[in-house]
Structure 1
Amino acid sequence: MSGKAEPRAAGERTTTRARLDRGRSALGPALELVHTGRAPTRAVLTAELGVTRATAGAVAAELEALGLIWVDARPAAAAGSQGRPSHRLDVAEEGPVALAAQVHADGFRAALVGLGGRIVATAPGCEIIAADPAKVLGSVVEAGAELLRTTGRRCVGAGLAVPSAVAQPEGLALNPLHLAWPVGAPVRRLFEECVRAAGIPGPAFTGNDVNLAALAEHRHGAGRGARDLLCVATGHRGVGGALVLDGRLHTGSSGLALEVGHLTVNPEGRPCHCGGRGCLDVEADPLALLVEAGREPGPEDSLLKQADDLLRTQYDDPAVRRAAEALIDRLGLGLAGLVNILNPDRIILGGLHRTLLDADPSRLRAVVADRSLWGQSGGVPILPCTLDHNSLVGAAELAWQPVLDDPLAALR
């Protein structure tokens, strides 16, 4: 009998080890499903992972033990439903966070962002940006470090969003046009040094602000569910674009893809910082709206806030309406060209462009449909971004990615 018992025990150990290995390999995919809201219950998680209920339960339990998710084993049944409801899954409210930092023409902001793209805490934004990137990044990292000290939250890493193309793998800001920083500033290295000096654990990452906004919106906002997503936005100055292809952020061979701000939309228009004329960057940003409407930019608020307020409170003014229509037509022309080249299944607009879309959605959609081949064959949905501070959330996504790839290795 003992001779028969040994093979069974070895087989059982092999089966257990194989089940454990499958469960561990599923931890990252499972966490991403909960993180992006695509697995609200254990039943959905089981189906999405293609594993047994037992394996899905073990995976959920392991992620809960790591402090990453919360499992409600006794959820209330929906009215009129039959049978026992599946365990509900959500990100842990008191779980780890990523430090997110954003620098723009009118200041900087730091925040702590948990799983699910949830902003846990923010530091008051600075409104003056020095010409020395090391000084600015030191200040924003210190603001984030103070948030960590105050909240006592565990930090998995840090991410930085900057209004410039960021060449990879060097992490150089190639065109920080509106920051007065030197061309080619080594922002990734400087940010990493500041993060280390502040004693913040985990890796540090840097990316373009619109790229990161698109990443955040694709995972948590208006771009969720899109396969090929085009994002165009104007923040405090200039215009940026980003593309998510087949669910992944497309940055090109060296991080410089989708510099849409330098599409010409008005050949006789304003000189652009790039040396061209009539680019989206200077024809469809907040400063362009204020100038077009005959308004003198004031020092009291950011250009973005001034332009947004003008559209929301004075759109009935003929000068403001004409200015808005001019910007909508230029934006629509640029979007139409991008649609012809990229054929996205969804377009999302951020910053002032979101406000322009809200002001006159039919005009913008008509311009894009009229000027684009694919738009004429079937309208491309054009939607406003839905996340507040989406570049900050996207910066946090960079820091969360190693955890999503391998939770055990990242948190060990």
Structure 2
Amino acid sequence: MPSIFCLGSAQSQNRRVTQTRTRLERGRGALGPALALVHTGRAPTRAVLTAELGVTRATAGAVAAELEALRLIRVDTRPSGPGGSQGRPSHRLAVDPEGPVVLAVQVHADGFRAGLVGLGGQVVVTAPGSMTVPADPAHVLGAVVEAGAGLLRDTGRVCVGVGLAVPSAVAQPEGTALNPLHLAWPAGAPVLQILTEQVALAGITGPTGTPVACFVGNDINLGALAEHRHGAGHGAQHLLVVATGHRGVGGALVLDGRLHTGSSGLALEVGHFTVNPQGRPCHCGLRGCLDVEVDPLALLEEAGRTPGPEGSLLEQATALLREEYADPAVRAAAHALIDRLGLGLAGLVNVLNPDRILLGGLHRDLLDADPERLRAVVADRSLWGRSGSVPLLGCALNHNSLVGAAELAWQPVLDDPLGVLVG
């Protein structure tokens, strides 16, 4: 009898150990999905987190506690409920504003911007830089990484990755800039390799003391990703984003939460959608592309203004539109660009059938200047617009390409928080 009792006890103990290990493994596997839910604002409370993960309240509590211990989120265990409410309010969850950050960097036709971005798309600090971008990518990438390293030193924050946004289609996974038309870089510049080298030279390491991972993507694609997770595109199933930055026009499509980049990263090159066959010559060799008909330089030229030495083309065009719209020449120029933009958007709507369109950069200002005119052009030229117009909104995030670059760098943490932060 004693031997049978001992055997039973051992079996029970082994079973308990196995169950405990299974719960721990299940809990660790839930860390990434839980963090992603808090990161995108889809789990503001522990009760919602429990339901979304499909786990017990105890498991959700343990997962939240682990993420808090990693300084990724904060848990408010004593939230105040609305007056007259019954029961104890669920613990509230939010990203930790003092937690780790990623270094996000962007290169554009007039220089660069570096920034530190936390979870939730929170921009902690940025540092712009104006320069003529030379043909050697290492020159500007070295400058922007140096600026970012300075931000990390000044703030004392822990860096977990680096993301770069560039105005070019980017081949993946090689990270080469295939067609940087508005930069002097050669086609096929190995920007990911160069970025990784510059980050190593700057001595930027992660929480475990090892070199941080680096990522690169197209600026408009990354802006669309940021808007879908944290901005005006939140909740859209088929989101189309069209924007103009310092030069040119770009587009991006988010389908069911994922960027549609095509087979090699070249999808949605909407800048070379022809809207004026007799128009301006484009860098691609054609005429009348959106890229040269609806960008900041086009507005300045259409209004009869010569670009000045102060400020970028985007800043000059935006100021012209906001401050001198009463001038008949400026209004006429804006109307011309709105009509061309509307024609391009209508063609894209006919092909893609999105459920929401976001406009960024100068296009957002054109929408603000005369929303009814732009919506009317899209509806008149679009098959779908005649039966029910697609919502047309402005992008909501400042520096959305920078935030999108940060999303690339945050992704490994969202996939495996312990693996990145602890090793």
TM over 0.5: yes
Q: TM-score, normalised by structure 2?
A: 0.95
Q: Deviations over 1:215-270 (max 9, x none)?
A: 11111001111111111000000000011111101111111111000000011111
**Conservation of the 8 A alpha-carbon contact between 1:157 and 1:200:** no
Q: Is the Cα contact below 8 Å between 1:314 and 1:320 reproduced in 2?
A: yes
Code of the residue aligned with 2:407 in structure 1: it is E
Distance 2:32 2:173 in 1: 25
Which of 83, 86, 89 is equivalent to 2:87? 83
**Residues of 2 paired with 1:228 and 1:407: CA distance?**
29
Match of 2:32 among 28, 32, 47: 28
Compute the displacement of 1:60 (Å). 0.4
Percent identity between the aligned chains? 77
Q: 2:362 aligns to what?
A: 352
Aligned counterparts of 2:313 and 2:9: Cα–Cα separation in 1 = 77
Distance 2:32 2:389 in 1: 36
Match of 1:53 among 38, 46, 57: 57
- 2:152 is the alignment partner of 1:142: no
Whether 1:304 aligns to 2:314 is: yes
Map of 1:176 onto structure 2: 180
Distance 2:156 2:35 in 1: 23
> Is residue 204 from structure 1 mapped to residue 222 from structure 2 by the alignment?
no
Partner of 2:209: none
Q: Name the CA distance, whole Å, in 2 between partners of 1:384 and 1:112.
A: 24
Where has structure 1 moved over 3 Å in runs of 4 or more? 1-4
Are 2:17 and 1:13 aligned? yes
Gaps of 5+ in 2: 206-211
Pick from 141, 158, 163 the counterpart of residue 154 of structure 1: 158
Report the equivalent of 2:371.
361
How do 1:8-407 residues align onto structure 2 when only pairs under 5 Å count? Answer: 8-201=12-205, 202-407=212-417
Per the TM alignment, residue 15 of structure 1 is displaced from its structure 2 partner at its CA by 2.1
* Aligned-pair CA distance for 1:273: 0.4
Letter in 2 for 1:29: P
Shift of residue 290, structure 1, vs aligned partner: 0.7
Alignment deviations for residues 23-78 of structure 1 (CA, whole Å, 9 cap, x no partner): 11111110001001111111111111111111110110111111111111111222
Q: Distance in 2 between matches of 1:200 and 1:341?
A: 44
Query: For 1:168-216, what per-residue CA distance to the aligned partner results, in whole angstroms no more than 9, with x for missing partners?
Result: 2222212212121122211111111101111112100111100110011
Hey, what's the Cα distance between the residues in 2 that align with 1:25 and 1:383? 37
1:125 match: secondary structure:
strand
For 1:228 and 1:20, locate their aligned partners in 2 and report how far apart those are by CA, in whole Å: 37
Amino acid in structure 2 at the alignment position of 1:8: S
Contact 1:97 1:156 in 2 (8 A): yes
Q: Bigger CA drift: 119-128 or 46-55?
A: 119-128
Is there any run of 5+ residues in structure 1 with no aligned partner, and where?
none
In 2: Cα distance, 1:372 partner to 1:8 partner: 68
- Distance in 1, matches of 2:303 and 2:85, equals 57
Deviations 1:126-162 (A, max 9, x none): 3432232111100100110111111111111101111
How far off its partner does 1:10 sit?
2.4
Paired residue type of 2:68: E
Counterpart AA for 1:309: A
Q: Secondary structure at the match of 2:49?
A: helix
Equivalents in 1 of 2:97, 2:256: separation in Å?
Answer: 30
Q: Find the aligned partners of 1:189 and 1:146 in 2 and give their Cα distance.
A: 21
Q: Give the residue type in structure 2 aligned to 1:83.
A: G
Worse overlay, 120-129 or 62-71: 120-129
